[in-house]
Structure 1
């Protein structure tokens, strides 16, 4: 390196100064300046590549001849005015610049009448920063940047460089080490394992979803029928020749399937660019860039637009908790712990071998909130499922005594993360009407879905991890032993209305030796399928929105493998096809019956009819709509023994008809069902003045609807 690389302000030395021009062109053979009065050669004043010479006038260009004979004519970056305004720097410093990726990073534009790209990077502790790319032979000596001291931002406008070019930043850290870093604000990247950022054009997608955006609040509130299909894009379905589909191909295949299956939403595991595919996206480094694995940002926007045209909402998993330590990423970015905490007791995540964002630093928190808004506003995404919220809320998460730092009050709560989540949700609620945020939160932290104005975290929904763990643990037991664990199935309604919940059967439950859903079920083949059908029907009837990971709907027997694809061939088997048909019918029923969705977060919509029959492993509960729709009765028999003449007390006299039965032969069941409607009898039972005598099929869930009284 030369003395030029160490200049605290290259603009004070390079460019025009008092009738003299200096330009640093290491490796160039000759440089001349072209102005209104013609062309004049500059003198090589140092062997490192510094050229200088007199110049009178204002506007000029540089003509540079290289040893290979190539001659480049370009404007001088060091003759141009600053790129960022004072307001940009002020908002960045306060952590509330919501258009951050259009100001920092790399943005093609016209500046001082010249076309090129504006580069800007927050690196307050760096000694020097340069833009590097093929346009300067990846030479860190060519384009040193200007430091805007008031915000710790380095900036430079580079004429003649446009969209599609790969670039990085060469950062001389506070520790004296040069590092080549990808752009934290990049809006496009090379396809991994390549690590450079790509200059992206300004977003200019032509949307056709105005009606959807105007009405999506009605589709996503606590009383709407929300049924989510979670998927990993790469391994849902692969091209016949291997590799991965792009967003257009994914849309061609996925959208008709989701519509046919009746799901209201798709939830994509993180698609923000991530270096390691095996992380499934949960260790992202580019919080603003759709992964290059699946095509361009425009293609992703088109995918969302097509989903909306088909009536499907799009939710993205989003990860503000932690990031990987790859050398080209955020770790030790400017020679200091800039994005992470310096103390590993705060800044290192032992479970995932990752680094934890320092959310107490305004610029870091602001960048992440800007990322959330980027997906919601620029890509019209309908919701963000925030990953690993529990790990953010507690300083001692997954740590033993002595391995964590208490907060300023001596407690275990992470006050900075709590403030960040509240602020993020408040900003989203203000700027993105109808969008939802969803917390993956596995503890009993209070008020996750309570409004920020009432001191809650402000999420729209929370994953009900307790329900998932309890009920799966129960279903994995042999029916003969279930009577001793009846509370696993009845505990959920105790707290079902303390938050607005989503019931998740997610990817985490079908990997790492946990087995697929069908393989978790005990018994012989028939019993396994019957158990799964009964469990899925119980889930769809239970209070809470629904989420099912891909493969569950076809009873895939193998664990999910992110390097493969779903076992679509299984659908040639009648039992697997039966489960798929069952899920399709459950989604249709969930939409059609107000009692099943309008009261998902309303305690008036649920009541036990029979909650204590542990000896028979029978559950019966009532679902009702607060708006007068017919109530439903859900009866679940979790033993392989049919139960005839089973009496259930009901509050509504009249006739009840069976509208769903997981034991139906079309699903692969034995066909034990009620062919005709049932009439209540004036026989008291379960605290009710009248009752029904029903038949419970083996390992099955049935739903009965009240059809009114006889005329």
Structure 2
């Protein structure tokens, strides 16, 4: 019935086409059933329709391979295997009797790398075939010699469920009856060199809690319908203020082993807090499954799996739905720039550099000791682009903040002159990565117009947030890293020296309209020895808090959307530590609670006054009044919208109050304070201005002016009320 080479290959798990041998086969001798069942004592064949046993299989050469003829039957039929394991008996549907699941169109699109939603076919999908419940598995591993699904359901034995190779697209697939949601599994891959690898599923929708590394069968969560209200809230002319959160350390439960909050607990605590504080969006550090807590999620091994640290995929959906029900958007940090070298992950996935570059000058990040995706490989680009769409469509997130874009754009990023390979034109730009980013943004925009993408891009690469038709990368927003660096350096100076660095605050508006900028004070600014934002402010306690409040007032007055990392809103004193909660007890101190109240009021003012958000990205929305008063370290400017609304912003970055300070204004009328960071309710000295009427006295090139008292270390905003 078999030659010895076939038997040896099957028993060793090395046969490259087990479906051609195992299961029910037509032969010259009639129908034959063959089964490889290590550990079985006897095996029978049972007709599925009536439950009648129609054959007993013989053990081949005393091994774990069983075979036998079906007497009196010419046509294949549905059957089960009746197995005596010694301690118990079991009837099982034979996975080798089921046909291929991937259709011709899927195979074609997967081979092209143009399948918009490959996650609907690849990975592990609970389904029913011919009335039999089980799971369909599929994985891309074109260079493997053999791929098997292993798990508790087959004693992690790679000989039990070997997969079928679809040569046209390099995908291996099989259907395994009786496997169900919650079962753990991996792919056992035999390389061409004979090595055996155990890999988690690149398309797994759920994974084990670290340090375990298996994938977990979980149904694909349903599509979340697009919401026009979310599209309006994400628009360029909307008031956007983002609260950046590390889910594992925003707040912990000290009475329960200092554990993390779950997704559902975060929905019940974080979302009401964000709503009360007036933020419009929550941005979560990466929630993709990752093996090392200390990476904060930025080294993911499971791009399609929400981390199990905080609960199930359904729990995460509940969090997003709760946020939307409360008018809060949800953004996810997303990491297509690199992946870790962990043995169970994508590295050398099928024994070759499948997802990464072969040459370390292209494929290895020395900064993070990680591997770089090969964006020029169509299947890899497809894997990543589909992942972006997956989070937006399936979990309903409003957008993605793409991490480390600069490292993707340049081949020589953080490399010595002899440690990188030029592009085909001899340049330093990573043309394949650029094409990938443009394609990803195009597809996201076309498939879910309400979604937005943000680039964390720290270089001067042009047109990052410009449309594709204008030659841009197609992002909706770009983080303004230059603004962040300049302004923090300015604020760290003793006020007596700030006049020498005046340009660090006046430089921003010169390029503020070249991109759609977000002003970020992110987690990167409160780690690695940098201290907290509050700790960078000079002076005694009162001055440090006054500086911080003045800085936030300047930030909210400046063109651009806003982003603040958790804890910064109440003046977290210590550097952020990812393994413990924020210092919520500080709110018992009026100075800390004053900062918190100020941030809440700044968000309310930004929302209420269109001049502070409507045309953030157009120079018509900003006008300097005075940018050259370096001796007093005072800045003044106007924000406006197209409907004639005006907000006047004045910043004094010295501890000296400026009495009878004249400011030129363009419009006659009465001006009223709408925010004053020196107000007593925020912990300030309480110097303020009653309503002021513009005088017909020329100043700063304008026909009329106001005479004000500008409080010390403070930002004051005024509205024109008529």
Q: Deviations along 1:108-161, whole A, 9 cap, x unmatched?
A: 101233211101010000011010000000111111111110100111111111
Find the aligned partners of 1:705 and 1:618 in 2 and give their Cα distance: 19
The residue that corresponds to 2:108 in the other structure is 90
The more displaced of 214-223 and 698-707 is 214-223
Q: Output the TM-score relative to the length of structure 1.
A: 0.97
Deviation at 1:2, TM superposition (A): 4.3
The residue that corresponds to 2:32 in the other structure is 20
Counterpart contact for 1:173–1:333, Cα < 8 Å: no
The residue that corresponds to 1:695 in the other structure is 709
Deviation at 1:396, TM superposition (A): 0.5
Find the aligned partners of 1:148 and 1:161 in 2 and give their Cα distance: 22
The residue that corresponds to 1:116 in the other structure is 134
Deviation at 1:522, TM superposition (A): 0.5
Secondary structure at 2:624 match in 1: strand
The residue that corresponds to 1:281 in the other structure is 297
The residue that corresponds to 1:224 in the other structure is 238
Q: Deviations along 1:86-111, whole A, 9 cap, x unmatched?
A: 11111112222222222111101012
Find the aligned partners of 1:221 and 1:286 in 2 and give their Cα distance: 30
The more displaced of 104-113 and 391-400 is 104-113
Q: Output aligned runs, 1:479-558, within 5 Å.
A: 479-558=495-574
The residue that corresponds to 1:293 in the other structure is 309
Secondary structure at 1:480 match in 2: helix
Secondary structure at 1:72 match in 2: strand
Deviation at 1:202, TM superposition (A): 3.5
The residue that corresponds to 2:623 in the other structure is 607
Secondary structure at 1:323 match in 2: coil
Counterpart contact for 1:271–1:290, Cα < 8 Å: yes
Q: Are 2:605 and 1:589 equivalent residues in the alignment?
A: yes
Q: Are 2:254 and 1:235 equivalent residues in the alignment?
A: no
Q: Deviations along 1:584-612, whole A, 9 cap, x unmatched?
A: 00000000011100021111010110101
- Structure 1, unaligned stretches of length 5 or more? none
Find the aligned partners of 1:174 and 1:611 in 2 and give their Cα distance: 67
Q: Deviations along 1:396-428, whole A, 9 cap, x unmatched?
A: 011110110100000000000000000000000
Find the aligned partners of 2:643 and 2:219 in 1 and give their Cα distance: 50
Q: Are 2:78 and 1:59 equivalent residues in the alignment?
A: yes
Deviation at 1:176, TM superposition (A): 2.2
Q: Output the TM-score relative to the length of structure 2.
A: 0.96
Query: Which of 3, 7, 11 in structure 1 is aligned with 2:9?
Result: 3
Find the aligned partners of 2:57 and 2:568 in 1 and give their Cα distance: 70
Deviation at 1:204, TM superposition (A): 4.2
Deviation at 1:174, TM superposition (A): 2.8
Secondary structure at 1:236 match in 2: coil
Find the aligned partners of 1:669 and 1:174 in 2 and give their Cα distance: 71
Find the aligned partners of 1:238 and 1:215 in 2 and give their Cα distance: 32
Counterpart contact for 1:14–1:24, Cα < 8 Å: yes
The more displaced of 663-672 and 55-64 is 55-64
The residue that corresponds to 2:338 in the other structure is 322
Find the aligned partners of 1:70 and 1:88 in 2 and give their Cα distance: 41
The residue that corresponds to 1:655 in the other structure is 670
Find the aligned partners of 2:548 and 2:194 in 1 and give their Cα distance: 60
Deviation at 1:249, TM superposition (A): 0.8
- Structure 2, unaligned stretches of length 5 or more? 1-6
The residue that corresponds to 2:171 in the other structure is 153
Secondary structure at 1:527 match in 2: helix
Q: Are 2:686 and 1:678 equivalent residues in the alignment?
A: no
Q: Deviations along 1:561-590, whole A, 9 cap, x unmatched?
A: 000011000000000000000000000000
Secondary structure at 1:566 match in 2: coil
Over 3 Å off, 4+ runs: none
Counterpart contact for 2:221–2:395, Cα < 8 Å: no
Q: Output aligned runs, 1:236-635, within 5 Å.
A: 236-240=250-254, 241=256, 242-629=258-645, 631-635=646-650
Secondary structure at 2:594 match in 1: helix
Deviation at 1:7, TM superposition (A): 1.5
Q: 1:345 to 1:145 in 2, by over 3 A?
A: same
Q: 1:44 to 1:251 in 2, by over 3 A?
A: same
Deviation at 1:626, TM superposition (A): 1.4
Q: 1:520 to 1:2 in 2, by over 3 A?
A: farther
Counterpart contact for 2:44–2:53, Cα < 8 Å: no
Find the aligned partners of 1:489 and 1:351 in 2 and give their Cα distance: 31
Deviation at 1:628, TM superposition (A): 2.2
Find the aligned partners of 1:513 and 1:637 in 2 and give their Cα distance: 29
Q: 1:546 to 1:2 in 2, by over 3 A?
A: farther
Q: Are 2:148 and 1:130 equivalent residues in the alignment?
A: yes
Find the aligned partners of 2:504 and 2:388 in 1 and give their Cα distance: 36
Query: Which of 184, 198, 209 in structure 1 is aligned with 2:216?
Result: 198
The residue that corresponds to 2:4 in the other structure is none
Secondary structure at 1:63 match in 2: strand
